[in-house]
Chain A
Amino acid sequence: MLWVDKYRPKTLDQVMVHQVIAQNLKKLVMEQDCPHLLFYGPPGSGKKTLIMALLRQMFGPGAEKVKVENKTWKVDAGSRTLDIELTTLSSTNHVELNPSDAGFQDRYIVQEIIKEIAKNRPIDTKGKKGFKVLVLNEVDKLSREAQHSLRRTMEKYSAYCRLILCCNSSSKVTEAIRSRCLNVQINAPTEEEIAKVLEFIGNKEGLQLPAGFAARIAEKSNRSLRRAILSFETCRVQQYPFTSKQVIPPMDWEEYVAEIASDIMKEQSPKRLFQVRGKLYELLVNCIPPEIILKRLLYELLKKLDVELKHEVCHWAAYYEHRMRLGQKAIFHIEAFVAKFMSIYKSFLVATFG
């Protein structure tokens, strides 16, 4: 089993990183009254882990007996009926789903399906909570309409159903929803915390960690605990007796993005743009989410960029990232960003060096 999963804390008490939050959550649940919750924080900070632990705290070990269902719902959308397919993870007391998987039909998920699930009140309430928990992932990816529908659902069924929302950035969740939830911000763990966890795992696994090795991984991990543990294990697979100089292997796609970035920096021409497009397609085809590509690309570019341009380039990256969200064909927008960057950078080069 992968270490990430193996050493995932199962209860709120086991949590190593966000202990304060965990304790507060525990108290919250103990008092029998659980408001809607909105967890937000960067990836790899432990939101999911906390949510699972919280559910276990609420419903006992039964919460871990989950089953995965891939269901197709028929939704009546005015003139036609839609078939919406969705994977859900459910136990007797909770249902977890990812409404943004339905793409632009997410509105119907929120309107119909959540309603349907929420309506089914658990019959056997003796000694247990009188409500079901609905865990919605990636709420920040919900379309505006879906979010609007969501707030009504939240109020109407609050007696039987608690929502736990989970997202990366609360800024993409509408004000209305945020105000209906108890917002729980999960910060990314600090590098020290990460290093501590890594050393803990190393101990458990009986590994010899060279001094500073854990810190190096933590540093590379971009403060994502999951990332850190995964690359820790990757290192382990790659070469065991660790050496202090050991390279920490990057993710395959990050490597590729870095290549693209250096391509762009080397030459700014239509020809190069064309090659970059091919590589971007390659990434997209391999299911790397376009936002992440764009973000990573910006990160790689900024590393090599002159200070005076950084601000402008960041501006354009944000601009195109926003447009990407409005649009549908991500490649167009990433390409537009690359073209824009090339145009800016080229002018800059010519202006500076003649």
Chain B
Amino acid sequence: MSDIRKWFMKSHVKGNGGELKPTNPAPSHSETLVQGGQESSGRRKTSKYFATDKQKPEDEEETKELPAKRKTQKDSIESSKPTPPKKARNVEDDDDDFLLPSSRKNLVDVTPGKKLKSGLGRGISRKPVDDEESDEEDDKDTETQKSGGRGRGRRGSSAAPAGGRGRGGGRGGFMNFGERKDPPHKGEKEVPEGAPNCLAGLTFVISGTLDSLEREEAEDLIKRHGGRVTGSVSKKTNYLLCDEDIGGRKSAKAKELGTALLAEDGLFDMIRASKPAKAPAQEESKRPVCKAAPLPKKSPQKTEANKDSVSNSMEMKASRGLTPGASPAKRKNQTVEKNTLTWPEKYRPKIPNEIVGNQSLVKQLHDWLAHWKEQFLDTGTNKKGKKQNDSGAKKAVLLSGTPGIGKTTSAKLVCQMLNFQAIEVNASDSRGKADAKIEKGIGGSNANSIKELVSNEALSVNMDRSKHPKTVLIMDEVDGMSAGDRGGIADLIASIKISKIPIICICNDRYSQKLKSLVNYCLLLSFRKPTKQQMAKRLMQIANAEGLQVNEIAVEELAERVNGDMRMALNQLQYMSLSMSVIKYDDIRQRLLSSAKDEDISPFTAVDKLFGFNAGKLRMDERMDLSMSDPDLVPLLIQENYMNYRPSSVGKDDDGIKRMNLIARAAESIGDGDIINVQIRRYRQWQLSQSGSLASSIIPAALLHGQRETLELGERNFNRFGGWLGKNSTMGKNRRLLEDLHVHLLASRESSSGREILRVEYLTLLLKQLTEPLRQLHKDEAVQKVVEFMNIYSITQEDFDTIVELSKFRGHPNPLDGIQPAVKAALTKAYKEGSKSRMVRAADLVMLPGMRKAPKKRIAAMLEPSDDGFADVNADTLAENEEENSSDTEDLDSTANGEKLQLELQSLNSKGVQVELDLKGTGNSGAKKTPVGRGKGGSGSTEKKGGRGAGAGAKRKR
């Protein structure tokens, strides 16, 4: 179950990934070097407060060296309107709530960032600074860039959220896809191969539909060759790539700025031209590109940075960010001194915009926290009509997501941003239920202090809040609350209810059983894995800041390998940095081959790989991993699909003998797998599990891997889901039905054969006896005969259906064919009629006096021969029963109903009345119809569906 959920989630994430992509536009390569760890975004918002002025000149110089970066189309959407780059934007940005705090924070943020780790309390000092800052900053804009590293940081911070998903349409957004037409000559032109860096430093904007390339393809092409694609035209843009002048905003702007227009063919030519010339120089050019450009610029910045670092210890990072590009030697030194921190700690985002991915969630969290007070404390000024979604409705928030994607970081950052003092409690603290008396435990158990914290905030509310730090409780790893933290969740919920401070809970698996109750009290925010591009961008910055030479593909590979876990990626990167300063794609591949984080692949993918054309090249441990990815489902999928593959190993095989032989071997091996599985499950021989997957998956796949072909007309050429599960459950159901029939027959005292014999030998005749008369004889006569027969063998209407059901074979005529509907109806009617005076000698869940275990016991029949007098009494009393019950039926659920009947039956029993009753029908269908007929003899045919379901249900209940 959970696996299935995972697959869905996964694709979901992927879908989102597309959307997220734009959020993090990549900075130019050289910029990154300068900026250090700060995330920056190459989007126009960037320039909001200051960056633009100085950035522009810089950028102009730099353009030449800009290597490929991720680009966003979304920019184009947004940016098309604000033509004057800076001023207009400023205005626009100001309306953006979210943006404001973060952008203001810039300068200050550098400070807090570091402190973050050391804890709380910095919020206080920051706020005042922030206030002044906004004014200052505008002034600063005009100055030359005072502190390079920081400046960029600021820029980044303001940019990302604003640009992001908050605004809607990203390039990857599904919506946008539909609007663009397909390229007229799609796929007709040969896409040239050029030197990898031939477009380095050039910035392109793509507009409209291209001649042969999809926009994504074009982007990819440009990026592959080192170019940069942005979404909107600006002064930095070198070319506007468009084949037809659609006269949109982009082209208008391009004309205004005098940007060159470039057709697709022109682009191809550029790339082709580069090939011979630049190819050899590629390796060479890379270094200079990275280093040369930053150098001149760097010096002023660096000094500045250094200055800062003197005044502010926080600056460590900025300076570090600056230096690496400068000279290798310096870098070395620095590595030594900075080794004190692991990279994940060191580059923990200091401002919200640095968080990779999930910006909208961060924003949501921010909103929630920002409005928390109004929502829950100042009820008087309760703002109902908030413009964001009504995220404040819950008192606590639950962040969930896989490890390493920044949940804790986001939580802390948001707190910081809003000047909340965060108190973090995680798995390392004991979080059991607090002592009932709070006074007892203050200073003692952690839980008690939380309690105190949560409930005592009332005091500080009265004080001047602006001076007083507001507090937030961060409960980290709530799903880890287990053995030691008894009652932890319950206590947490209680705390949430009374809390005077916001509570942020963080967990990995929000569907965990433990959290079931908690989920109801929390606003749920599910963090998704960032896309590899998003991660790559950030990793790139960090690598550059650390002076690592990493090419982009390598970083993306890394991002992909770690499967969304930023922390893991950083750890890997740091580890690799110890031994090498240039990291290439192959290094990463090699390194992570062994240390790859386990990722869950769907059984389908695993089977695809195992059966794939190249599966022969897989190593044994890889195959083992694949087949073990889901040791239950993979064998079933293999079994379902193995005969669809045309084995690539047989070579020439005209009459198919070889293939047939291989299939026979594979089938036998699958059988082996089944046998081993029995050993594993039944005798708990888990050490056999490897042999099991070898026999059930690897050997068949190894024998038959190759091209898949379809065996059935109209079948899709994909692996089918294993049919066994479905068939097995149908089989189980039918077996239960058959068992019911069997019990009824046994109860009739006329037959004593076993169930299998009943099926194999009796059933054909039973069916004939039940249906032939209906076909041949006159209606009334037939019905009478059949009902008589049913009565003799205590066959109920449901059993009748069972018999028919079990006699159906695909490709054979339905056993009921040729029977007039009218006759069927008459039969049903006659049967129901008869049921009033009939005793069906079968009963379920009857409690017998003196039997303590009664509810567990199902007495199918009591075969004391009962004379008619008894039967009459029975019928009467039962009828009464039913009447009483029918009034109850509505509000009682099935079990209750059943119990009630039992009780009544018990009283009957004590009167010495023989009760023979079938309660099966009283299951879930009770409310639908009056249970009268059913109570006695199983339901009439109108209710047979429900009746059957109920029968099954009853069975399960037992």
Asked if B809 and A282 make an inter-chain contact with CB atoms under 8 angstroms apart, the answer reads yes
- Give the shortest distance, in Å, between A51 (CB) and chain B (any CB): 9
Asked if B734 and A285 make an inter-chain contact with CB atoms under 8 angstroms apart, the answer reads yes
Q: Which residues of B contact A175 (CB under 8 A)?
A: none
Stretch at the interface among B237-245, B303-311, B519-527, B670-678: B670-678
Main secondary structure of the interface of A (DSSP, over half): helix
Q: Which residues of B contact A67 (CB under 8 A)?
A: 859-864
Q: Which residues of A contact B655 (CB under 8 A)?
A: 346, 350
Task: Tell which of A104, A137, A237 touches B765, judged by Cβ atoms closer than 8 Å.
Answer: A237
Task: Tell which of A2, A104, A287, A347 touches B769, judged by Cβ atoms closer than 8 Å.
Answer: A2
A48-B760 in contact given A67-B863, A234-B765, A256-B809 (Cβ < 8 Å): no
A116 in the interface (beta carbon within 8 A): no
Asked if B749 and A66 make an inter-chain contact with CB atoms under 8 angstroms apart, the answer reads yes
Asked if A268 and B731 make an inter-chain contact with CB atoms under 8 angstroms apart, the answer reads no
Stretch at the interface among B73-81, B189-197, B571-579, B661-669: B661-669
- Give the shortest distance, in Å, between B882 (CB) and chain A (any CB): 23
Task: Tell which of B659, B728, B761, B862 touches A270, judged by Cβ atoms closer than 8 Å.
Answer: B659
Asked if A71 and B749 make an inter-chain contact with CB atoms under 8 angstroms apart, the answer reads no
B756 in the interface (beta carbon within 8 A): yes
Asked if B772 and A237 make an inter-chain contact with CB atoms under 8 angstroms apart, the answer reads yes
Asked if A274 and B711 make an inter-chain contact with CB atoms under 8 angstroms apart, the answer reads yes
Question: Bound complex: CA of A281 vs CA of B958, how far in Å?
Answer: 28
A284-B754 in contact given A339-B663, A347-B657 (Cβ < 8 Å): no
Interface membership of chain A positions 270-310, coded 1 if the CB is closer than 8 angstroms to chain B and 0 otherwise: 11011000110111111111001000000000000000000
Asked if B752 and A85 make an inter-chain contact with CB atoms under 8 angstroms apart, the answer reads no
Interface membership of chain B positions 839-882, coded 1 if the CB is closer than 8 angstroms to chain A and 0 otherwise: 00010000000000100111111111100000000000000000
- Give the shortest distance, in Å, between B197 (CB) and chain A (any CB): 51
B334 in the interface (beta carbon within 8 A): no
Asked if B765 and A285 make an inter-chain contact with CB atoms under 8 angstroms apart, the answer reads no
Task: Tell which of B668, B670, B760, B842 touches A253, judged by Cβ atoms closer than 8 Å.
Answer: B760
Asked if A268 and B756 make an inter-chain contact with CB atoms under 8 angstroms apart, the answer reads no
Question: Bound complex: CA of A85 vs CA of B760, how far in Å?
Answer: 23
Asked if B749 and A332 make an inter-chain contact with CB atoms under 8 angstroms apart, the answer reads no
Asked if A329 and B724 make an inter-chain contact with CB atoms under 8 angstroms apart, the answer reads yes
Asked if B769 and A273 make an inter-chain contact with CB atoms under 8 angstroms apart, the answer reads no
Task: Tell which of B712, B723, B808, B865 touches A281, judged by Cβ atoms closer than 8 Å.
Answer: B723
Asked if A252 and B760 make an inter-chain contact with CB atoms under 8 angstroms apart, the answer reads no
Asked if A230 and B861 make an inter-chain contact with CB atoms under 8 angstroms apart, the answer reads no
Q: Which residues of A contact B712 (CB under 8 A)?
A: 271, 274
A71-B858 in contact given A89-B752, A234-B764 (Cβ < 8 Å): yes
Residue of B nearest to A48 (CB): B752
Asked if B731 and A287 make an inter-chain contact with CB atoms under 8 angstroms apart, the answer reads yes
A-contacting residues, B666-714, CB 8 Å: 666-668, 670-671, 673-675, 677-678, 681-682, 711-712
Asked if A43 and B764 make an inter-chain contact with CB atoms under 8 angstroms apart, the answer reads no
Asked if B759 and A287 make an inter-chain contact with CB atoms under 8 angstroms apart, the answer reads yes
Question: Bound complex: CA of A231 vs CA of B856, how far in Å?
Answer: 40
Question: Bound complex: CA of A259 vs CA of B810, how far in Å?
Answer: 12
Asked if B757 and A70 make an inter-chain contact with CB atoms under 8 angstroms apart, the answer reads no
Asked if B860 and A98 make an inter-chain contact with CB atoms under 8 angstroms apart, the answer reads no
Asked if A252 and B671 make an inter-chain contact with CB atoms under 8 angstroms apart, the answer reads no
Question: Bound complex: CA of A333 vs CA of B656, how far in Å?
Answer: 22
Residue of A nearest to B773 (CB): A237
A230-B764 in contact given A270-B663, A279-B810, A287-B738 (Cβ < 8 Å): yes
Q: Which residues of A contact B659 (CB under 8 A)?
A: 270
- Give the shortest distance, in Å, between A191 (CB) and chain B (any CB): 18
A24 in the interface (beta carbon within 8 A): no
B660 in the interface (beta carbon within 8 A): yes
B-contacting residues, A74-116, CB 8 Å: 74, 85, 87, 89, 96, 98, 101, 104
Q: Which residues of B contact A64 (CB under 8 A)?
A: 749
Residue of A nearest to B674 (CB): A327
B910 in the interface (beta carbon within 8 A): no
B768 in the interface (beta carbon within 8 A): yes
Asked if B859 and A69 make an inter-chain contact with CB atoms under 8 angstroms apart, the answer reads yes
A331 in the interface (beta carbon within 8 A): yes
Question: Bound complex: CA of A270 vs CA of B668, how far in Å?
Answer: 15
A72 in the interface (beta carbon within 8 A): yes
Residue of A nearest to B676 (CB): A327
Chain A CB within 10 A, most for which of B657, B674, B734, B738: B674
Interface membership of chain B positions 779-801, coded 1 if the CB is closer than 8 angstroms to chain A and 0 otherwise: 00000000000001100000000
Stretch at the interface among B47-55, B589-597, B739-747: B739-747
Task: Tell which of B664, B734, B765, B792 touches A287, judged by Cβ atoms closer than 8 Å.
Answer: B734
Q: Which residues of A contact B769 (CB under 8 A)?
A: 2, 237
Asked if B753 and A285 make an inter-chain contact with CB atoms under 8 angstroms apart, the answer reads no
B730 in the interface (beta carbon within 8 A): yes
Asked if B667 and A332 make an inter-chain contact with CB atoms under 8 angstroms apart, the answer reads yes
Q: Which residues of A contact B681 (CB under 8 A)?
A: 328
Residue of A nearest to B736 (CB): A287
Question: Bound complex: CA of A346 vs CA of B809, how far in Å?
Answer: 28
Q: Which residues of B contact A285 (CB under 8 A)?
A: 727, 730-731, 734
Asked if B743 and A70 make an inter-chain contact with CB atoms under 8 angstroms apart, the answer reads yes
Q: Which residues of B contact A332 (CB under 8 A)?
A: 639, 667, 670-671, 673-674
Q: Which residues of A contact B765 (CB under 8 A)?
A: 2, 230-231, 233-234, 237
Q: Which residues of B contact A231 (CB under 8 A)?
A: 765
Q: Which residues of A contact B728 (CB under 8 A)?
A: 329
B806 in the interface (beta carbon within 8 A): yes
Asked if A320 and B671 make an inter-chain contact with CB atoms under 8 angstroms apart, the answer reads yes
A1 in the interface (beta carbon within 8 A): yes
Residue of B nearest to A135 (CB): B752
Task: Tell which of A69, A251, A320 touches B858, judged by Cβ atoms closer than 8 Å.
Answer: A69
Q: Which residues of A contact B759 (CB under 8 A)?
A: 286-289
Question: Bound complex: CA of A43 vs CA of B668, how far in Å?
Answer: 30
B643 in the interface (beta carbon within 8 A): yes
- Give the shortest distance, in Å, between B792 (CB) and chain A (any CB): 5
A238 in the interface (beta carbon within 8 A): yes
A326 in the interface (beta carbon within 8 A): yes
Q: Which residues of A contact B633 (CB under 8 A)?
A: none
Question: Bound complex: CA of A322 vs CA of B677, how far in Å?
Answer: 16
Residue of A nearest to B856 (CB): A72
B735 in the interface (beta carbon within 8 A): yes
Residue of B nearest to A344 (CB): B664
Q: Which residues of B contact A283 (CB under 8 A)?
A: 809
A193 in the interface (beta carbon within 8 A): no
B762 in the interface (beta carbon within 8 A): yes
Task: Tell which of B667, B757, B806 touches A226, judged by Cβ atoms closer than 8 Å.
Answer: B757
A335 in the interface (beta carbon within 8 A): yes
A-contacting residues, B802-860, CB 8 Å: 806-812, 842, 853, 856-860
B234 in the interface (beta carbon within 8 A): no
Q: Which residues of B contact A329 (CB under 8 A)?
A: 674, 724, 728
Asked if B754 and A138 make an inter-chain contact with CB atoms under 8 angstroms apart, the answer reads yes
B750 in the interface (beta carbon within 8 A): yes
Residue of A nearest to B639 (CB): A332
A44-B668 in contact given A331-B727, A332-B674, A347-B657 (Cβ < 8 Å): no
Q: Which residues of B contact A72 (CB under 8 A)?
A: 853, 856-858, 958
Q: Which residues of B contact A288 (CB under 8 A)?
A: 759-760
B644 in the interface (beta carbon within 8 A): yes
Asked if B768 and A238 make an inter-chain contact with CB atoms under 8 angstroms apart, the answer reads yes
A68 in the interface (beta carbon within 8 A): yes
Question: Bound complex: CA of A234 vs CA of B763, how far in Å?
Answer: 11
Q: Which residues of A contact B853 (CB under 8 A)?
A: 72
Q: Which residues of A contact B767 (CB under 8 A)?
A: 252
A152 in the interface (beta carbon within 8 A): no
Since A89-B752, A104-B682, A286-B806 are in contact, a sample of 4 more A-B pairs with Cβ atoms closer than 8 Å, ordered by chain A residue number, is A68-B859, A237-B765, A252-B763, A340-B668
Nearest 7 pairs between A and B by C-beta? A336-B667, A327-B674, A70-B858, A343-B664, A68-B860, A339-B667, A339-B664
Mind listing 23 A-B residue pairs with CB under 8 Å? A67-B861, A70-B958, A72-B853, A87-B739, A231-B765, A252-B764, A269-B660, A270-B644, A270-B656, A271-B712, A274-B712, A283-B809, A286-B806, A289-B756, A289-B759, A328-B678, A329-B724, A331-B727, A336-B667, A342-B663, A342-B664, A343-B664, A350-B657
